[in-house]
């Protein structure tokens, strides 16, 4: 089936459209809040270390919960899991808004509520991602992943850019209110979606079944290696948590410009995502994956050294373009090479990798920036990304030479 036929099929898929609508609205609010949290923390502490700690607060709950989140996604109704998580998330953001409105907010409270959000996400993500291949035909799935990434990156552009203006004109507290309201879109989408097909090999909720998920991932070299490169590239290359410092101290600008810095990688990712289907005839998907990550690393190096706002925007956009190419290929490899009965557990293990990489990387970036200065911290991270990518390419030829079997 070609891309035109797949696109027609997806446009007729009510569940796919509903889910994308709900997620798009919700993610705009989520990315608005991510920017607001970093801005508020920097205003309260004036410390790059505090920005690193918020990333640690996001990662630890994911690391702990991911062991159970996968088996939850494989055992229980995935729609109901997402519905419950989104409902609790509304309450969580509402409390954060209240504390900011009343002036009772502190860095410690921000860390706590950011951690709660991360814990909720750790249950939502495996259920949602595992649900994808069950509501989309297998032959449509590669294009669906590309479309989902375009929508995702669009929210990463709109959310941060909008957040910068909202903070500038209506302050941080308004962002938290908007985020709380945005979760309702997912609830509406879930209500109108069709029932999911039953999992014919539903596992028992046990430590043994959790272990089966880990065993599957690490005994499948193609999937495991795609997770390793995801983790290390994001660990060394992550720099978004330091953007308030770039905006204020290096570029001498305010929150609106900071919003555009946060949004720039998404612009590059959107453009790359729109172009990607035109490369559908390229069989060497593994080499394309590694090429995307190398572009990401090189862009991060030069961004760290840039002192020009517009050049910084271009470099961040290039980093987003390189990253999204590898993301699309990795997602297709994982989902289509994993049976449905264990897909939630595989996704949960992957979540620990792709969440741990950037979050721990931002912790490292915060502390390194405190020691060496922000520009050198980011540039060195970009160089390390290039080095580790070349090393993994050498050590994992099954990923480097991976070919798309569906390409004629």
For residues 1 and 11, what is the distance between their CA atoms, to the nearest angstrom?
15
Tell whether the model's pLDDT for residue 47 goes beyond 70. Answer: yes
* Higher pLDDT among residues 401 and 94, named by residue: 94
Count other Cβ atoms within 10 Å, centred on residue 367: 15
pLDDT at 386: 93
Tell whether the model's pLDDT for residue 356 goes beyond 80. Answer: no
Count other Cβ atoms within 10 Å, centred on residue 167: 24
pLDDT, tens only, 359-368: 777 777 777 7
Closest CA to 325 of 359, 288, 298: 288
pLDDT at 408: 36
Task: For residue 385, give every residue at least 6 positions away whose Cβ sits within 8 Å of its Cβ, in sequence order, or none.
Answer: 232, 233, 236, 237, 293, 296, 297, 300
The total number of residues shown for the chain amounts to 408
Tell whether the model's pLDDT for residue 395 goes beyond 90. Answer: no
pLDDT, tens only, 289-325: 999 999 999 999 999 999 999 999 999 999 999 988 8
pLDDT, tens only, 246-296: 888 888 887 778 878 888 888 898 898 888 777 666 777 888 899 999 999
CATH superfamily of 3-400: MFS general substrate transporter like domains (1.20.1250.20)
């Amino acid at each position: 089936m070609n891309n035109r036929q797949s696109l027609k099929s997806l446009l007729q898929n009510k569940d796919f459209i509903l889910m994308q609508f709900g997620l798009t609205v919700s993610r705009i609010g989520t990315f608005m809040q991510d920017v607001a949290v970093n801005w508020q923390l920097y205003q309260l502490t004036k410390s790059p270390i505090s920005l690193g700690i918020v990333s640690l607060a996001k990662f630890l709950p994911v690391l702990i919960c991911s062991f159970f989140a996968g088996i939850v996604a494989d055992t229980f109704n995935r729609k109901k899991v997402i519905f419950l998580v989104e409902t609790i998330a509304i309450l969580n953001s509402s409390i954060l808004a209240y504390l900011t409105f009343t002036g009772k907010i502190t860095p410690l409270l921000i860390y706590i509520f950011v951690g709660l959000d991360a814990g909720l996400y750790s249950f939502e993500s495996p259920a949602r991602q595992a649900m994808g291949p069950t509501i989309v035909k297998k032959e449509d799935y590669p294009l669906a992943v590309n479309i989902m990434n375009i929508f995702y990156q669009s929210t990463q552009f709109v959310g941060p850019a909008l957040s910068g203006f909202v903070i500038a004109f209506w302050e941080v507290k308004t962002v938290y209110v908007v985020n709380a309201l945005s979760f309702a879109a997912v609830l509406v989408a879930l209500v109108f979606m069709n029932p999911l097909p039953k999992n014919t090999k539903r596992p028992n909720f046990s430590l043994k079944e959790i272990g089966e998920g880990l065993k599957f991932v690490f005994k499948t070299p193609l999937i495991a290696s795609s997770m390793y490169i995801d983790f290390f590239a994001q660990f060394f290359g992550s720099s978004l948590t330091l953007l308030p410092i770039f905006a204020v101290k290096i570029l001498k600008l305010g929150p609106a410009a900071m919003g555009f810095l946060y949004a720039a990688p998404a612009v590059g990712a959107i453009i790359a995502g729109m172009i990607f289907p035109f490369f559908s005839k390229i069989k060497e998907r593994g080499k394309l994956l590694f090429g995307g990550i190398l572009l990401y690393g090189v862009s991060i190096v030069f961004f760290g050294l840039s002192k020009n706002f517009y050049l910084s925007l271009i470099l961040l956009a290039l980093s987003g373009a390189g990253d999204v190419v590898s993301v699309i290929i990795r997602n297709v490899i994982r989902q289509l090479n994993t049976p449905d009965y264990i897909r939630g557990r595989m996704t949960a293990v992957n979540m620990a990798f792709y969440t741990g990489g950037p979050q721990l990387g931002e912790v490292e970036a915060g502390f390194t920036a405190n020691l060496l200065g922000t520009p050198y911290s980011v540039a060195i991270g970009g160089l390390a990304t290039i080095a580790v990518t070349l090393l993994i390419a050498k050590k994992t030829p099954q990923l480097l030479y991976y070919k798309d079997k569906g390409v004629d």
